[in-house]
Amino acid sequence: MKTSILLLTLLMGCASPGAYQGMTAEQITALAKMKDANVACVILNAPWGRGVTTFVNLDKGVIPSGTVTVDGECKVTMTNAPLPK
């Protein structure tokens, strides 16, 4: 049940046709300036086996020189290394 709700929430994100309907130009500009990084990991235990799906969204420049690691138990590690000089 939790997986269904999570999947439905992900599918209703910014890609939905009416997501920007009714927003002013200033609101859309502010939304475009927002930079973030997020990871969602879903484990599905089914009769035919175990499945792990990972969704990663990294906006350009948020983690310019680092890594995102997801292990088999959905433990997410995000590191941001200093930029090379």
Whether 52 and 42 have beta carbons less than 8 Å apart is answered as yes
- Give the domain extent around 31: 23-85
Is 14 part of any domain? no
pLDDT digits (tens, 9 = 90+) for 6-50: 665 666 555 555 667 788 889 888 887 888 888 888 888 999 998
- Gap between the Cα atoms of 33 and 57, Å rounded: 15
**What are the distances in angstroms from CA 33 to CA 5, 26, 29, 57, 64?**
28, 11, 6, 15, 17
Count structural domains, the chain: 1
- Gap between the Cα atoms of 6 and 9, Å rounded: 5
Give the model's pLDDT for residue 47. 92
Give the model's pLDDT for residue 29. 86
Is 5 part of any domain? no
**What are the distances in angstroms from CA 43 to CA 2, 12, 73, 76?**
11, 20, 8, 13
Global confidence as pTM = 0.51
Is 6 part of any domain? no
pLDDT digits (tens, 9 = 90+) for 66-77: 888 888 888 888
Is 55 part of any domain? yes
62 has a pLDDT exceeding 60: yes
1's tokens: 């049940």
